[in-house]
Chains A and B, each alone.
Chain A
Amino acid sequence: MSYPDLVAVGGFALLFVLLLLRVPIGVAMGLVGVGGFALMVRTGPALNLVGLSPIRTATEYSLALIPMFILMGSLATASGLSAELYRASNAWIGHRRGGLAMATIAACGGFAAICGSSVATAATMTKVALPEMKRYGYPDTLATGSIAAGGTLGILIPPSIVLAIYGILTEQDIGKLFIAGVVPGIMALMLYLVTVRLYVMFSKQDVPVQEVASWQERIAASRGVWAVLLLFVFVMGGIYGGVFTPSEAAGMGASGVLIIGLVRRRLNLKTIYRCLVDSIQVSASIFFILIGALLFGYFLTATQSPQKIATALLSLELGPHGTLLLILLFFLLLGCILDAMAMIVLMIPIIYPVVLQLGFDPIWFGVIIVMTVELGLITPPVGMNVFVLNSLARDIPLQRIFAGVMPFVLMDVLRLAILVAFPILVLFLPNSMQ
């Protein structure tokens, strides 16, 4: 084994040991990155990286979209948008069989359009939708499954924090990535609605039906959401039309939600301050692992690990789609032990060169990999959405929630297969951008 290979193997081993020993991911990646770079080059340049790279990352204006989109979601949550979205979708489709679960998914889709966090979407919708579904006697499996799965829409429907991180790590246009998430996000929403329909068709459990809401009730229920949904169209339309950069869109979105919340008297100074504090805290921990990931990138470059892994994978001669399948299966397995953000920052710098060599479009791959990672949010043992749901609804056992989520997981796999087979579904919108 050559010296660079030895350093690479040692570095990866140390990284995984540190992660298992619960060293923060940013610290573990940064430590291995700088240490490995020092072994490959020299200690002096490696230490210089520590002084230079983190501040360069933290003062990169294009990354300001992360705290501002998080703030937008936080303000939307605080102004009670989730409840209004739920009320509106319930008025329109709640009278169908399984209507409350369908309304939950539709509300999740609407909320995901403002909030880039899957876990936040699941958490907020649990508080709003679960009591209602329980009141109507919905089976626990359907109620919790629809919330946990609906929550995953947050990671895909723009703005998506994970897609933004992918864009930063791979130097892809974040605006294009957001727009590429639109069609798969809508597909996910539709297929989840079909899943609920199939569930109530084939389930032996009784799913009660609500009364049909009158047109006046429907219009009244929709009054609270139109402004924010219009804001989403404005923000994403601005990115699509090249009117704003993604960072500007984030600033406009956060300011827009703030103005709407103030005008409608849903926000006060105390709530706004709390949202700002929460947003900067979440952003700081995301930036911290980004800083670690970028330092780790120097180690990867110095050891040429991605190129070697690419060569090894290509030598298997599985063909582009065979290799892609292998990568996706690997991500699915990794989803059993790591959360979404950790998987993206750890694996993308390694896998990305392979994907480029296979000739896949990087924007399309970003969406595919985020969808794969999204599955990890609802599959055992580290299904973050399921854990959040369980922490808010202690009376429903984890196993029952995981059972409820399974039909949605199957639908996710079907969607993934469709989008792998037909990349144009992902790419036609970003390719038509100005």
Chain B
Amino acid sequence: MNAFERIINKIVLFVDAAAAVFLAIITGLTFLTVVLRYVFNATLPGSFDIGRLLLGVAIFWGIAVAAYRKEHIQVDILWSVLPRKVQGALNVFSDIVFFGCACVFAAMFWLRVMATRTSGETTFELDVPIWPFHLAAWLGIALTAVVLAVRILHVAFTRQFDLPDDDKPVVSNPMGFPPGEP
């Protein structure tokens, strides 16, 4: 792993942790909103807007992490019966298509972020500007494009395909949720 890849790895770890914290805040805000409503007959101002905007940031950052860890949902039916070299080639192809789409997405979303900033759009109750949240979400898509570019360049320069040892689905985390599976 070269220095640049190490930096990407550290950024992804930070993004992963931040997205997790955002989810904790969203859950906490939801819990508080309900408790305040039924126990104290009160409301938590801005919880709805802040919750949904943080959700957007967490999801877009999570998309970058999932791209880095190759956890986006794919159809393996053909891939799993192909020789390993062809599997590697297909992985690169899929990364290139994904990278192209992420670049277009990042460009168009950037225009949207700028439009939101110009319009001065704010949240309903607390009057918080929306564009910084959109900008933070945009960073997730930009990171997606960067991690895909790094992976494609890694294969282009080293000629080494990054392939798993076994083509069967594996429970990849201790909680038992395979990537993206319902």
Residues of A within 8 A of B (CB): 18-27, 30-31, 47-48, 50-52, 54-55, 58-61, 63-64, 67-68, 70-71, 73-74, 77-78, 116-120, 123-124, 127, 155, 161-162, 165, 243-244, 247-248, 250-252, 254-255, 273-289, 337-342, 381-382, 384, 387-388, 390-392
Contacts and interface: CB of A to CB of B under 8 A. Distances in A.
A23 B20 CA distance: 27
B40 to A, nearest CB: 16
Contacts of A279: 20, 23
Nearest to A56: B56
Q: Which of A18, A70, A285 has the most CB of B within 10 A?
A: A285
Given A63-B55, A281-B71, A120 B97 contact: no
A4 to B, nearest CB: 24
Say what secondary structure dominates the interface of chain B. helix
- The 6 A-B pairs with the shortest beta carbon distances in the complex, nearest first, are A284-B62, A251-B30, A285-B180, A123-B176, A276-B20, A51-B108
A392 B182 contact: no
Nearest to B108: A51
Given A251-B27, A252-B30, A25 B74 contact: yes
A382 B53 CA distance: 37
Contact of A30 (B31, B38, B77, B101): B101
Interface of B: 16-17, 19-24, 26-31, 33-34, 38, 48, 51-53, 55-56, 58-63, 65-66, 69, 71-79, 90-91, 93-94, 97-98, 101, 104-105, 108-109, 111-112, 133-134, 137, 168-171, 173-182
B78 A20 contact: yes
Contacts of A116: 182
Contacts of B108: 47-48, 50-51
Which among A21, A47, A282, A342 has the greatest number of chain B C-beta atoms within 10 A?
A: A282
A356 to B, nearest CB: 24
Contacts of B134: 55
B90 A22 contact: yes
Contacts of A63: 55
Contacts of A248: 30, 33-34
A287 B72 contact: no
Contacts of B133: 59
B73 A341 contact: yes
A342 B63 contact: no
Contact of A251 (B34, B56, B112, B137): B34
Given A31-B101, A155-B182, A22 B74 contact: yes
A68 B71 CA distance: 19
B27 A391 contact: no
26 contacts: A25-B72, A27-B72, A27-B94, A27-B101, A31-B101, A55-B56, A55-B109, A61-B51, A64-B55, A67-B59, A71-B23, A74-B175, A74-B177, A120-B177, A120-B181, A123-B177, A123-B178, A255-B27, A276-B20, A276-B21, A282-B179, A285-B73, A285-B179, A337-B77, A340-B182, A341-B182
Contact of B27 (A18, A19, A27, A68): A68
Nearest to A248: B34
Nearest to A65: B30
Contacts of A388: 169, 171, 178
Contacts of B71: 281, 285
A347 B134 CA distance: 31
Contacts of B91: 22
A101 to B, nearest CB: 20
Contacts of A123: 171, 176-178
Contacts of B137: 55, 58
A284 B58 CA distance: 8
A147 to B, nearest CB: 12
Contact of B73 (A26, A31, A61, A247): A26
Contacts of A387: 168-169
A117 B53 contact: no
Contacts of B174: 78, 274
Contact of B182 (A55, A124, A162): A162
Contacts of A284: 19, 58-63, 65-66
A323 to B, nearest CB: 26
Contacts of A278: 173, 175, 177
